[in-house]
Amino acid sequence: MTQILDGRTLARTCNKAVKVKVESLARPPGLAVVMVGNDPASAVYVKRKGVVADRLGFVHRQIDLPADTSQAKVEEVVRSLNDDDAIDGILVQLPLPKGLDSAAVVDCVSPDKDVDGLTIRSIGYLAQGRQLLAPCTPWGVMKLLALADVNLSGKSAVVIGRSNMVGRPMAMLLEQANCTVTVCHSRTTNLEEVVRRSDVVVAAIGQPKVVQGSWIKPGALVIDVGINRLDDGSLCGDVDTEAASVNAAAITPVPGGVGPMTIAMLMENTYKASCARQGVSAG
């Protein structure tokens, strides 16, 4: 029977552990989320982050800016949070509205407060296997893979998607777990062939059910990072979950898989950043 890698349950466990640790700090961790515009999906996600942060006893601040906010103003807001002693972690909700340079905004975040793990320093440390604050979604994926209780060393893995937020750092983490990693993307011509020979499949390309169930190697571990809304209003991932479950040894549901873990890892990173700034061990 295919194991369902339940992100909701694992996230609750991770959050409970962080909450206990937070109670021993001299001051609570502080998280600031900057949201520009009113993208509906982003608004829902930001709200969830705030709810979890409040539940864990964090100081939580949400800065909402209109979609027509200038590049200079967004960067000014981020720099002001860098100087705010009550804030340990800064997250700029992506994507930003058209016309704004997301990379330039992210580069304004102090590396010490980069709880999304996207600054040049964070990615550089990750590339060297010395990650301090790893990107939240890939790190959450690694925690989900651990639930399958399979030794990843020597396994063949495919990451579908090469974004700076997920695909590229995901490939680094899998390589550091001693997988042999192939990165596929929109220009890949033999996607089906690569997936068929992979022991681990991480789909993060943003296309509904692009990975067919028949492509999945018997016994493979399948992580579906994608979440897509269909014309009928229902949600699905980048993998045809029902069909893939026939061959997969373990698979994440959509929703309820990677999403909750991304938020849980954001909280863990904020706690770690706070400990570093308070000069105490994260334990």
Alpha-carbon gap, residue 135 to 196, rounded angstroms: 27
Nearest to 140 by CA among 268, 277, 276: 268
Tokens of 146: 């651990």
Does residue 116 carry a catalytic annotation? yes
Radius of gyration of the chain measured on its C-alpha atoms: 19
Which residue among the candidates 21, 88, 93, 238 is catalytic per the annotation? 93
Catalytic annotation, pick one of 88, 114, 116, 199: 116
Burial 123-158 (b: 16+ CB within 10 A, else e): bebbeeeebbbbbbbbbbbbbbbebbebebeebbbb
Q: Is 201 exposed, middle or buried (0-12, 13-18, 19+ CB in 10 A)?
A: buried
State yes or no: is 73 an active-site residue: no
Identify whether the C-beta of residue 49 lies closer than 8 Å to the C-beta of residue 41.
no
Q: To 10 degrees, the CA torsion angle through 10, 11, 16, 19?
A: 150
Cα–Cα separations (whole angstroms), residue 31 to 55, 112, 155, 189:
13, 13, 37, 42
Q: Cα 264 vs. chain centroid, distance in angstroms?
A: 9
Q: Which of 21, 49, 143, 155 is catalytic?
A: 49
Whether 49 is catalytic is yes
Residue 100 to residues 23, 94, 105, Cα–Cα distance (Å): 39, 11, 8
DSSP conformation letters of 75-118: HHHHHHHHT-TT--EEEE-SSPPTTS-HHHHHHHS-GGGBTT--
What residues act catalytically? 49, 93, 116
